[in-house]
Amino acid sequence: MLDSLGQFGGALAHLLSGWGVLNVFWATLLGIVIGALPGLTATMGVALMTTLTFTMPHEQAILVLVCIYVGAIYGGSRSAILLNIPGTPASACSTLDGFPLARQGLAGRAMGISTSGSWLGTLFGILCVAALTPILSEVALKFQSFEFFWISVFGIVIAGTLAGGDPLKGYIAGFLGLFIATIGQEPYYNYQRFAFGSTDLAGGIGLLPALVGCFGVAEVLQAMRGPAVQAVASTIDSVIPRLEDVFKYWRTILRSGAIGTFIGILPGLGEDTAAWSSYAAARRASKEKEKYGKGSIEGLMAAETGESACVPGAIIPVLTLAVPGSAPAAVLMAAMLIHGLNPGPNLMLQTPEFFYQIVAMLLIADMSKLFFGLTLVRPLLWILLVPRERLMPVVFVLCVVGAYAITSRVFDIYVMLAFGFIGFALRELKFPMAPLILGLVLGDLLEKNLTRGLVLSGGSIAPFFTRPVSGALAAITILSILWSIPGFHARVSGLFRRRRAGSGAS
């Protein structure tokens, strides 16, 4: 215990030395601004900054990305409260009670609740990262190719099933991502798949240019197509959080923190699911249900705590299984790989100091978020009022720089542009994006583990189903798919009802 605390203290001191403090400040602030601006999401912010911090030392680059991630998820609540427009999809839930509070002249109090809920949620998640990651890593060390194959498939299926929207389209998006990951040289014979003689395509589709396209460019196009944001002038009262709000709703905070962290741990779901689930659970358990949707402090607290607890939660499977818990965590994992880190079960063995650094990074980002949440109110309000016509071309230029930065190939800019159009079209056709990203990120892992498993078993697929963990994951995956078939659960519950009625009659 003391040794762990010592290592954690060492990680804190290391991260905050030199340029560390400055990096924390600008990155968290930038994250909050990205999150607050409708049309720019946490995933886009992390993807863009991954490429732009490529030349930094790895611990400073990951620190910047964690600060962007934590800041952006929090920042989305500003526009949700003040404009009734969620800055990020994760903040959509905060509009339900945040905006009514602002209309009642309580915008400052709503922002105070958002700040305290978000800060406590992330803190709860950080404690879970510190407590659960070493245990889960131990368990994951026993996994073989069969289990990793099912974890990858499970991630994509569960993201499709539970990420919201049409599960069927989620599965299609996931398999599209997996297919895109197969473009280029394959791992055994270096055969160039789907390259059509192009040396650029033979090198494969760069993950980050594709992500910058799917999120940055697609979001620019969507923002320009959509209706203009109508700014709502609001008088702002004190943003200092009230202790009575925290103490009165401590049960809601703990429940939402646990739900948010748990949803974060599940592959591919992310902060928006965490916020909605926490909100729904709080409403079910609330003694003041009638206030929900009309400016409920408890509702806003639940949504903010849930979404922010999800951030550290989503990093747990990255560190233990190399499977991301959310879309921004998928990009964060890609950044770790680019910087030569090895996320997954071996991380705790090979680079245990990085685990302590991650916990320290999350804590630093959370404290920095609290500082900016309490101090920068007016400037953030001005930033919200920047017209999209002036903001989006600047974002587009940054996307181009970001796509080019890592490999200095103009081809990557074309990849970004193509994925911008693909991402835009898929969104318009109501395909969820999380499974697509998960497919892109997990494609390599899935292919290697499937073929390795088949080689180990001499071509038999039996071990994929008969090994205990593998079999359990297979069963959950198949059940998840069946569950999304309309009428399946009604038929299953009807079957059980008939059996009960039959046994009652006999």
Partner 1 sequence: MADEPLPLLPHEERLAPRTDLWVAAAFLTFSAAILTLTFRMPTYTDQGGQIYTAPALVPSFYGVVTGLLSLWLAVRAIRADALGPVGTGERRETGNSNARFVLAAALGVVFIVGLIGRMPFWLAATIFVTAFVAAFEWRPGLEPAARARRLGVALAIGLGTGILVTLVFERVFLVRLP
Per CB under 8 A, which of residues 362..391 are in contact with partner 1?
Answer: 387, 389-390
Q: Of 291, 284, 331, 321, nearest to 434 (Cα)?
A: 331
- The full DSSP string for 170-221 is HHHHHHHHHHHHTSEE-TTT--EET-TT-HHHHT---HHHHHIIIIIIHHHH
**Number of neighbours of residue 205 by Cβ within 10 angstroms:** 22
CB of 417 to partner 1, least distance (A): 5
Q: Within positions 84 to 143, which residues make up the interface with partner 1, using CB under 8 A? A: 89, 92-93, 96
Token couple for 301:
């607290």
Select 32 or 422, whichever has its Cβ closest to partner 1. Answer: 422
Q: Within positions 273 to 292, which residues make up the interface with partner 1, using CB under 8 A? A: 276, 279-280, 283, 289-290, 292
Q: Site size for partner 1, by CB under 8 A?
A: 79
CB of 290 to partner 1, least distance (A): 6
Residue 34 lies near partner 1 (rule: CB under 8 A): no
**Number of neighbours of residue 386 by Cβ within 10 angstroms:** 12
Query: Which helix H or strand E contains 137, and what residues bound it?
Result: helix 107-140
Alpha-carbon distance 169 to 270, whole Å? 17
Q: Within positions 256 to 275, which residues make up the interface with partner 1, using CB under 8 A? A: 272
Residue 411 lies near partner 1 (rule: CB under 8 A): no
Residue 14 lies near partner 1 (rule: CB under 8 A): no
- Member of 127, 132, 224, 367 binding partner 1 (CB under 8 A): 224
Select 53 or 79, whichever has its Cβ closest to partner 1. Answer: 53
CB of 132 to partner 1, least distance (A): 29
Residue 217 lies near partner 1 (rule: CB under 8 A): yes
CB of 396 to partner 1, least distance (A): 6
**Residue 184, φ and ψ in degrees, nearest 5:** 110, -165
Select 176 or 367, whichever has its Cβ closest to partner 1. Answer: 176
Q: Within positions 444 to 463, which residues make up the interface with partner 1, using CB under 8 A? A: 446-447, 450-451, 454-455, 459
Residue 353 lies near partner 1 (rule: CB under 8 A): no
Angle, vertex CA 487, rays to CA 484 and CA 493, nearest 5: 100
Cα torsion through 384, 390, 394, 395, rounded to 10:
50
Residue type at 476?
Answer: I
Alpha-carbon distance 335 to 68, whole Å? 13
Select 201 or 377, whichever has its Cβ closest to partner 1. Answer: 201
Residue 393 lies near partner 1 (rule: CB under 8 A): yes
Alpha-carbon distance 382 to 461, whole Å? 59
- Member of 6, 9, 57, 293 binding partner 1 (CB under 8 A): 293
Length of the chain, in residues: 506
- Member of 39, 260, 264, 432 binding partner 1 (CB under 8 A): 432
Alpha-carbon distance 363 to 119, whole Å? 10
CB of 84 to partner 1, least distance (A): 12
Residue 25 lies near partner 1 (rule: CB under 8 A): no
Which stretch, 204-212, 338-346, 377-385, 412-420, contacts partner 1 (CB under 8 A)?
A: 412-420
CB of 470 to partner 1, least distance (A): 17
**Number of neighbours of residue 27 by Cβ within 10 angstroms:** 25
Residue 171-210 contact track with partner 1, rule CB under 8 A, x = bound: xx--xx-xx--x---x-xx-x-xx----------------
338 with 69: CB under 8 angstroms?
no
Task: Give the 3-state secondary structure of residue 235.
Answer: coil
Residue whose tokens read 């109090």: 109
